[in-house]
Chain A
Amino acid sequence: MQSLTTLRIGEAQPLDVALRVPCYHFGVPRSQAALRLIFFCCFSLLLGGCRSRDEVTSGGPTEITVWHPWGQDNAKGLAKIVARYNAMQQKTRVRLVFTPTDLSTNQKFFTAVAAGKPPDVSFVDGTQVAQWAEWNALEPLDEFIQRDKVRPDDFYAPCWKQSLYKNHVWAMTYCADPNFAFCWNKSEFRRAGLNPEKPPRTIEELDRIAKALTVDKGGRLDKLGIIPWSQYGAANSTFTWGWAFGGQFYDEKTQTITANDPKIVKAVEWMVSHAKRLGITRVNASASGWGTGVSDPFSTGNLGMKCVHISTLHDLTKYAPNLDYGIAPLPGTPDGEIGSSWVGGWLLCLPRGSRHPQEGWDFIRWMCATPEGTKAIADEMGLLPGFRRSPAIAKVKRDPKLKMFVKILEESKHQRPVMPVQAYFMGALDRAIDRAVYGKQTPQQAMDQATAETQRELDLILGKKPK
């Protein structure tokens, strides 16, 4: 306090005087106190940042972290499935963390892996398995699979194929997506004077019906038959119709992208012909008024036909229980594939550096390759497992509408290419279809560009010289 009283009037009071006073109260010189304060702050920050969760769990069950990308009903279903798992065994407690890892948002996952702090288990989109494996983001599962005697023919062929890359297994299919069944609104068929029991078998018939279903109200499209490029995104639409037209997207032997296969270009030309006939901006204007759930265009009759995923069928049962619709195999071209289909799906994987690989694997195996786990997924999320012996498969087979999806699983010849730039390929196809549909490029040009772009990326990753 002394220093304050000796200040003369008119002399500027140094700032540190104010600081000095409280410091002397602690009996420590002021600069040292400041040092201590800063040291304390930095140290506590460091401690907070470096604290590891591992050390907390000793004795009790091991906690494993599972990152999942699901929202709404799916998230609720998943939580119930995990609750079943946590209740049936004492060794592991699964903790779910919502972290999108879809095609466009996986940066969080990658940075976590790169930083050495990944989750113990993560969901991975089927199209990304090869890429994540190539980038060294995953642990191979071969050892676990051998030890626990999981066999390839436990799974539907496309599902197993999707988890294989460079002769290693990197993930397990927890949900197989049999894509797609073809649905048509029978009431709309009647309104247009069409036979409601006769769905189109060929693309020609599809075109004729689509025209008949279209209602133009003073320049505004009130009702539509089908929007070919909007079957779960432009890329998935291209795969769907490309195979229906008999095309092939990838040559595995030569590692060549073949998206400009003449038959695929034909398929794109056909998609574009609908955009031209209807007018793309008019289609967009109509579509901008459509919703989901109860206002889904298929249930309101604004869209007469569409390709459906099994979850869409559940939605229809939930939101439009009285809708009169039929379900059939996909139409195709005579020189292509009538009734074509493909299998997609999501898988579970062990990220590189997973701290509890054994517990993580046990959970993956329960979810993907046990009768109980796969049944839980079917019960709570309404999805089809890739595991053949699941009781869920037998149950779905008895459902007159849903049995179609099991048939696809059993018979489908296609899955999207398993190669390390599949996510990029999907993006390139999306953009190509966009350009073609809006008339910025011809279908040939658009597909040539998508093929060249993707090939360049693939060669880069495989370390090949560009052609």
Chain B
Amino acid sequence: MTSIRKPMTKLEKHHLRDGLLFTLPGIIGLLGFTIYPVFASLYYSFCNYSVLKAPQWVGLANYSVLAHDEQLRVAVKNTVIFAAMSIPLGIAAAFLLATLLNQKVRGMAFFRTIFYLPSVVPAVAGAVLWLWILNPQYGLLNTALAAVGIAGPGWLSDPAWSKAALSLMSVWGVGGWMVIFLAGLQDVPVELQEAARLDGAGAVAAYRHVTLPFMSPHLLFASVMGVIGVSSFFAQPMVMTNGGPADSTLFFAQYLFQNAFQFFKMGYACALAWALAVVLIFITVLLFRGSARFVYYGGD
């Protein structure tokens, strides 16, 4: 079916013009501060560019360096390990919290606020706080472990534990996911749950076969956002470990930052950013395709 487009009336033209004028500051901002930099970075990724000197076209050289960069391999490996630790842990913790906070208990608003609170603490303030919690000698965590007879590890000063320590810390800030899961849990139709219970399903089975399918879009969303979040995980490791010890917390974002703003290899940093963008798009598509069977968007 084709719709016939009527010519615009004078009033409509006026509206269009006014609308465009009013959104002009936003449009200019978007063009100047988002669209232009995105394409400029694509151009620079084919250049040697130290900001102070004019960019020099080097073709695919940055991308071929990228393929053989030992340090990048370390950074990617660290990021993947960290993602594998922190995303499932974060989602599980957020889901558990959301389930608990979905109960009908007195003072629930208070508990919800308390558990969400860490999410509004600025990243750097939280990082400094956790530096103290994770201090091997005087830290809260090792003091608590010592009370039950466990000699805690060096956490951030031990390459074997540093990623685990950061994962632990990231659980502290799952309030955002928790709220999304909570909203999702409240959308699970009560009648379906009741119907399942009437048909003889136990609490666990009802949860497994009714609640979880309804929550699957939220879980997928959290996974996708988790992958993107880990790839740009920067402030906390920068403040707490600066990539150390022994490069064990050198994540992708930090490596990109080092190249761009410490070594001033802006061209290479742009190449890294574009490589990351391509990989992220690929992973996201994969997640959507791969999960199509498991994700239920309601309806039929």
List the interface of chain A (C-beta within 8 A of B).
16, 30-31, 34-35, 38, 41-42, 103-105, 107, 110-111, 113-114, 135-137, 281, 284-289, 423-424, 427, 431, 434-435, 437-438, 440, 449, 453, 457, 460
The segment out of B88-96, B222-230, B241-249 that lies at the interface is B241-249
When the two chains form their complex, are residues B21 and A35 in contact, meaning their CB atoms are under 8 A apart? Answer: yes
When the two chains form their complex, are residues B24 and A438 in contact, meaning their CB atoms are under 8 A apart? Answer: no
Q: 13 A–B contact pairs at CB < 8 A?
A: A16-B15, A30-B18, A31-B14, A34-B21, A41-B25, A110-B52, A110-B264, A281-B154, A284-B136, A434-B244, A434-B245, A435-B247, A438-B159
When the two chains form their complex, are residues B52 and A285 in contact, meaning their CB atoms are under 8 A apart? Answer: no
Residues of A within 8 A of B245 (CB): 284, 434, 438
Once A110-B52, A284-B245 are accepted as A-B contacts, the answer to whether A38 and B154 lie under 8 Å apart by CB is no
Residues of B within 8 A of A424 (CB): 263
Chain B, residues 268-282, CB within 8 Å of chain A (1/0): the string is 000000000000000
When the two chains form their complex, are residues B247 and A431 in contact, meaning their CB atoms are under 8 A apart? Answer: yes
When the two chains form their complex, are residues A107 and B244 in contact, meaning their CB atoms are under 8 A apart? Answer: no
When the two chains form their complex, are residues A285 and B18 in contact, meaning their CB atoms are under 8 A apart? Answer: no
Residues of A within 8 A of B157 (CB): 281, 284-285, 287-288
When the two chains form their complex, are residues A440 and B246 in contact, meaning their CB atoms are under 8 A apart? Answer: yes
User: Count of chain B residues with Cβ under 8 Å from any Cβ of A?
Assistant: 33
- Indicate whether B261 reaches chain A with its CB closer than 8 angstroms: yes
Report the 10 A-B pairs with minimum CB-CB distance, sorted nearest first.
A284-B157, A438-B246, A289-B137, A107-B261, A285-B136, A135-B52, A281-B154, A281-B158, A288-B136, A434-B246
Nearest B-chain residue to A439, judged by Cβ: B246
When the two chains form their complex, are residues A135 and B53 in contact, meaning their CB atoms are under 8 A apart? Answer: yes
A135 to B56, CA, bound (A): 13
Residues of A within 8 A of B211 (CB): none
For residue A292, give the distance in angstroms from its CB to the closest CB of chain B.
15
Once A31-B14, A31-B18, A35-B21 are accepted as A-B contacts, the answer to whether A435 and B246 lie under 8 Å apart by CB is yes
A424 to B138, CA, bound (A): 35
Chain B, residues 46-84, CB within 8 Å of chain A (1/0): the string is 001011110000000000000000110000000000000
For residue A308, give the distance in angstroms from its CB to the closest CB of chain B.
24
Residues of A within 8 A of B71 (CB): 453
Once A38-B24, A110-B264, A424-B263 are accepted as A-B contacts, the answer to whether A137 and B158 lie under 8 Å apart by CB is no
Residues of B within 8 A of A288 (CB): 135-138, 154, 157
Residues of A within 8 A of B135 (CB): 288-289
Residues of B within 8 A of A41 (CB): 25
Q: Could you say which of A103, A113, A438 has the most chain B C-beta atoms within 10 Å of its C-beta?
A: A438
When the two chains form their complex, are residues B137 and A285 in contact, meaning their CB atoms are under 8 A apart? Answer: yes
List the interface of chain B (C-beta within 8 A of A).
14-15, 17-18, 21-22, 24-25, 48, 50-53, 70-71, 135-138, 153-154, 157-159, 244-247, 258, 261-264
A453 to B24, CA, bound (A): 48
Residues of A within 8 A of B14 (CB): 31
A281 to B156, CA, bound (A): 10
Residues of A within 8 A of B244 (CB): 434
When the two chains form their complex, are residues B53 and A136 in contact, meaning their CB atoms are under 8 A apart? Answer: yes
- Point out the residue from A114, A135, A285, A453 that lies within 8 Å of B154, measured CB to CB: A285
When the two chains form their complex, are residues A110 and B51 in contact, meaning their CB atoms are under 8 A apart? Answer: yes
When the two chains form their complex, are residues B17 and A284 in contact, meaning their CB atoms are under 8 A apart? Answer: no
Nearest A-chain residue to B250, judged by Cβ: A431
A42 to B32, CA, bound (A): 14
Interface of chain B: mostly helix, strand, loop or mixed: loop
A284 to B246, CA, bound (A): 13
Nearest A-chain residue to B158, judged by Cβ: A281
A464 to B245, CA, bound (A): 33
Residues of A within 8 A of B158 (CB): 281, 284
A284 to B134, CA, bound (A): 13
When the two chains form their complex, are residues B52 and A136 in contact, meaning their CB atoms are under 8 A apart? Answer: yes
Residues of B within 8 A of A111 (CB): 51
Given contacts A281-B153, A289-B135, A435-B247, 4 further A-B contacts (CB under 8 A): A30-B18, A110-B264, A288-B154, A434-B245
- Point out the residue from B22, B50, B53 that lies within 8 Å of A34, measured CB to CB: B22
A41 to B24, CA, bound (A): 11
Nearest B-chain residue to A41, judged by Cβ: B25
When the two chains form their complex, are residues B25 and A38 in contact, meaning their CB atoms are under 8 A apart? Answer: yes
A239 to B198, CA, bound (A): 77
For residue A421, give the distance in angstroms from its CB to the closest CB of chain B.
9
Once A284-B245, A434-B246 are accepted as A-B contacts, the answer to whether A457 and B24 lie under 8 Å apart by CB is no
Q: Could you say which of B53, B153, B246 has the most chain A C-beta atoms within 10 Å of its C-beta?
A: B246
Nearest B-chain residue to A441, judged by Cβ: B246
- Point out the residue from B51, B137, B138 that lies within 8 Å of A114, measured CB to CB: B51
A53 to B246, CA, bound (A): 47
A396 to B229, CA, bound (A): 55
A31 to B247, CA, bound (A): 60
- Point out the residue from A38, A103, A285, A434 that lies within 8 Å of B21, measured CB to CB: A38
Residues of B within 8 A of A107 (CB): 261, 264
Once A107-B261, A135-B264 are accepted as A-B contacts, the answer to whether A34 and B25 lie under 8 Å apart by CB is no
A31 to B48, CA, bound (A): 48
A110 to B263, CA, bound (A): 12
When the two chains form their complex, are residues A137 and B246 in contact, meaning their CB atoms are under 8 A apart? Answer: no
Residues of A within 8 A of B52 (CB): 110, 113-114, 135-137
Once A136-B53, A288-B137 are accepted as A-B contacts, the answer to whether A31 and B24 lie under 8 Å apart by CB is no
For residue A119, give the distance in angstroms from its CB to the closest CB of chain B.
15
For residue A278, give the distance in angstroms from its CB to the closest CB of chain B.
13
When the two chains form their complex, are residues B17 and A31 in contact, meaning their CB atoms are under 8 A apart? Answer: yes
A287 to B18, CA, bound (A): 64
Nearest B-chain residue to A431, judged by Cβ: B247
Residues of B within 8 A of A457 (CB): 263
- Point out the residue from A135, A289, A427, A437 that lies within 8 Å of B138, measured CB to CB: A289
Residues of B within 8 A of A103 (CB): 262
Nearest A-chain residue to B22, judged by Cβ: A34
A104 to B260, CA, bound (A): 11
A434 to B71, CA, bound (A): 14
Residues of A within 8 A of B138 (CB): 288-289
Residues of B within 8 A of A284 (CB): 136, 154, 157-158, 245
Nearest B-chain residue to A135, judged by Cβ: B52
A145 to B153, CA, bound (A): 57
Residues of B within 8 A of A287 (CB): 157
Residues of B within 8 A of A31 (CB): 14, 17-18, 21
Residues of B within 8 A of A135 (CB): 50, 52-53, 264
Residues of A within 8 A of B24 (CB): 38
For residue A103, give the distance in angstroms from its CB to the closest CB of chain B.
8
Q: Could you say which of A105, A288, A434 has the most chain B C-beta atoms within 10 Å of its C-beta?
A: A288
